[in-house]
Amino acid sequence: GIQVEQSPPDLILQEGANSTLRCNFSDSVNNLQWFHQNPWGQLINLFYIPSGTKQNGRLSATTVATERYSLLYISSSQTTDSGVYFCAVERRPSGNTPLVFGKGTRLSVIA
């Protein structure tokens, strides 16, 4: 099956710093999403980005599908950005199939 690898596994930032999280995947995908899991366990949709670049406030993401990777950029980090960031891809190149998750990047932003 498809493999999803995220790096780094852990990241500690000073408030205000910038960071880049990476997601590599082993096969062609129809869907790639980034999620933020807050301390209460809720998964927040950040980006649906099977290809291209998107921005939402201090966050942006880029997926280069031909090279099988995606990047999540966090600028001017805040303590509320802390949590686990997951990359997930759709397992087969068609709709209505479940996501395969990477192991996540645990981000801690300290004041």
Interaction of residue 24 with another protein, rule CB under 8 A? no
Interaction of residue 17 with another protein, rule CB under 8 A? no
| Rounded Cα distance, 50 and 94, in Å | 12
Among 32, 68, 65, 67, residue whose Cα is nearest residue 47: 32
Residue with smaller CB distance to another protein, 48 or 58: 48
Interaction of residue 95 with another protein, rule CB under 8 A? yes
Interaction of residue 88 with another protein, rule CB under 8 A? yes
Interaction of residue 77 with another protein, rule CB under 8 A? no
Q: How far is the CB of 104 from another protein (least distance, A)?
A: 6
| Rounded Cα distance, 106 and 51, in Å | 24
Burial 44-71, CB ≥16 within 10 A → b, else e: eebbebbeeeeeeeebbbbbebeebbbb
Binding interface with another protein (CB under 8 A): 30-31, 33, 35, 40-43, 45, 48, 86, 88, 90, 95-104
